Structure 1
Amino acid sequence: MPTLPSELEREIFEIAIRDNHNNAAWKLNFSLVARRVQYWIDLVYYEVVTIKTPVQAHKFLELVDWKPHDFFALAVKSLCIAYSISAVDASRILSVCSNVQQLACWVPWEKSPNLTQLLNSLCRLNQLSIETGHFLSILRSQSTPFPGLTHLELKWWLSSPRTSLDLGALPNLTHVSLSRAGRSEAESVCLTCASLQVLVIQKLAPEEEYAFDARIVMAPSDITYGEPVEVWEDVAFRRPENMWAYAENVVLSRKQKLDGRWYVLRLTYNAQS
């Protein structure tokens, strides 16, 4: 019986598990095929990890003890640690997911001082969702914070500070989202973020309030006003309805309209000359 090349065999299983990521029965059946297949499947299955409750956090940490010591460093690309997780558990989770590229860390971390250092040590991090006060404390404490960060979502809690946002220390930042931010915060982002392409405002407010910059997009309620973890997973799984894709399309549409108007004006000017 002919056999498939190992690379092709692996790709088939990876595509199958990605297309059925939430189907536990599929994962179990695939894992029983062979030990090598189980390893391939696990690497894909744990690319995106969402931890919403303390019980889930403890189960994950128990799983860490059963896997090879570097497994989660290799596997986890996107990680969400929700508000109810303790800072101590969050620190332990981040310490094993050291190559994460996309992170939501909504943890009150005052009881774990090393969490700030752990966050800033994530050298491959390019997307971050975090509470505003925690993020500002990192900016103040680090000389070169998050050098590879391109996407940043800042969340305002009731305890979050109301202050201007100087993002000049993040030269590669192109996408910013502000939850419950006011006009002054939006203005400071537009002024200090040198590479800004898109600024998403997650707030019920008149669009005219933020019409001073064409890069600002008001997020519609059906995209960003759902359960926070689900909104984050839309981005993590690159679903077409995620907030970044929506905002990019809006900004592109505005640019195309502006370019079209400029083209018409130029034709009119040339005709009159």
Structure 2
Amino acid sequence: MDPEPRLPPELEQEIFQIAAQDPESILNLLLVARRVHQWVEPYLYRVIQVSNSPRLSAFLRAMADRNPPFLAAGPRSVFFEAVPECTEALGQEILAKCPNITRIGLTVNFGGPVALAALAKLHHLQYLTASIFRLFPLAEMDGRHRAFARITHFSILDNPRSTEEEDAIFAVIPDLPVLTHVCFLLLARRRSAQIRRLLQMCSRLEILLLCRFNAADVYAEGYPTAKEEPRIVWAVTRTAYETVWTDWLRGAYGLVDVWQLAEERVQARLRGEGDVEGESPEWIVEDWETWPTLHDW
């Protein structure tokens, strides 16, 4: 009988890598043994916030020192914060060296043709949170750009201020080839007619998430009811930057986020439950007060 029975290495590796998906456990796992350190270290960089932080500094050292397989096994989600440290050159480098990214959040420092070219090379990118106007000039918006080829979930940061801007955004969305989930994060003006038209044009769309700073009588504004159009979900965002990006981080870490809540709302309606017969929709309130927040890392 083996005095020190051990699991097969492949099974042991799988167990530790599953455990490493909990960010609060990974630092302890790194200390277990050398082989465990090698297995789980890439998980330390699964979510990258490009900001002024020791965590980013550690990742940049790893990016400079490690081989391509390590970087391919690491980052899956990258948030380019609105800070001076987030430069265009750094954004290009991160996306070029980390090919398996699935989720990206863009703010003011990384956009335009440079960002589009970098996004187009990511063959696993599905979740994008960004301003369309910071990616394209108004007259050149292109939903069929290669950067959007695999995007299924698009959270749009723009709040159009003119009819021209409004028409441009609503025109580009149907052209995204595999899009199933759209979120307007800063919906201030009444756009019920455009929303109805968008849903008619996008039969593959599963969820249209509409956010405002306060709940309102949206049925009185002409928006479809939950029974008429179960794909529309309404949410309240308490503060724009903090709430949006805290929710983004929750999704990146595999926690409950607004997309999951919206999915549950739509599924309940399809079963004839929830607010499907209500005189007003039930609003999701994005008011996250638990980990993670923007300042945890």
Query: What is the rounded CA distance, in whole Å, between the counterparts of 2:222 and 2:13 in structure 1?
Result: 48
Instruction: In structure 2, list runs of 5 or more residues that go unmatched.
Output: 277-297
Amino acid at match of 2:223: A
Counterpart in 1 of 2:288? none
Deviation at 1:233, TM superposition (A): 1.4
Query: What is the rounded CA distance, in whole Å, between the counterparts of 2:270 and 2:6 in structure 1?
Result: 52
Query: What is the rounded CA distance, in whole Å, between the counterparts of 2:79 and 2:222 in structure 1?
Result: 29
Deviation at 1:176, TM superposition (A): 0.7
**Paired residue secondary structure (2:270):** helix
Query: What is the rounded CA distance, in whole Å, between the counterparts of 1:126 and 1:252 in structure 2?
Result: 21
TM-score normalised by L of structure 2: 0.73
Say if 2:99 is the partner of 1:90. Answer: no
**Paired residue secondary structure (2:105):** strand
Amino acid at match of 2:89: V
Q: How does 1:151-170 map to 2 (within 5 A)?
A: 151-156=153-158, 162-164=165-167, 165-166=170-171, 167-170=173-176
* Contact persistence 2:108–2:134 (CA under 8 A): no
Counterpart in 1 of 2:21? 18
Query: What is the rounded CA distance, in whole Å, between the counterparts of 1:115 and 1:60 in structure 2?
Result: 20
Counterpart in 1 of 2:223? 211
Deviation at 1:60, TM superposition (A): 3.0
* Contact persistence 1:139–1:145 (CA under 8 A): no
Q: How does 1:46-195 map to 2 (within 5 A)?
A: 46-53=45-52, 57-84=56-83, 85-109=86-110, 113-136=113-136, 139-140=141-142, 143-156=145-158, 162-164=165-167, 165-166=170-171, 167-181=173-187, 182-184=189-191, 186-187=195-196, 189-195=198-204
Query: What is the rounded CA distance, in whole Å, between the counterparts of 1:205 and 1:235 in structure 2?
Result: 23
**Residues 101-138 of structure 1, C-alpha deviations (whole Å, 9 max, x = no match):** 1111224336x742220112211111111113134558
User: Percent identity among equivalent residues?
Assistant: 26
* Contact persistence 1:105–1:130 (CA under 8 A): yes
Of residues 129-138 and 116-125 in structure 1, the stretch that sits farther from structure 2 once superposed is 129-138
* Contact persistence 2:43–2:74 (CA under 8 A): yes
Query: What is the rounded CA distance, in whole Å, between the counterparts of 2:39 and 2:114 in structure 1?
Result: 33
Query: What is the rounded CA distance, in whole Å, between the counterparts of 2:108 and 2:59 in structure 1?
Result: 17
**Residues 142-164 of structure 1, C-alpha deviations (whole Å, 9 max, x = no match):** 54442221111011279998323
Deviation at 1:191, TM superposition (A): 3.8
**Residues 57-112 of structure 1, C-alpha deviations (whole Å, 9 max, x = no match):** 555323311222342223212222212222222122211122211111224336x7
Query: What is the rounded CA distance, in whole Å, between the counterparts of 2:240 and 2:232 in structure 1?
Result: 15
Query: What is the rounded CA distance, in whole Å, between the counterparts of 2:174 and 2:94 in structure 1?
Result: 30
Deviation at 1:226, TM superposition (A): 4.5
Task: Report the RMSD for the aligned CA atoms in angstroms.
Answer: 3.2
Query: What is the rounded CA distance, in whole Å, between the counterparts of 1:221 and 1:157 in structure 2?
Result: 14
Q: Which has the higher helix share?
A: 1
The 1:78–1:236 alpha-carbon spacing in structure 2 relative to 1, beyond 3 Å, is same
Amino acid at match of 2:80: I
* Contact persistence 1:30–1:41 (CA under 8 A): yes
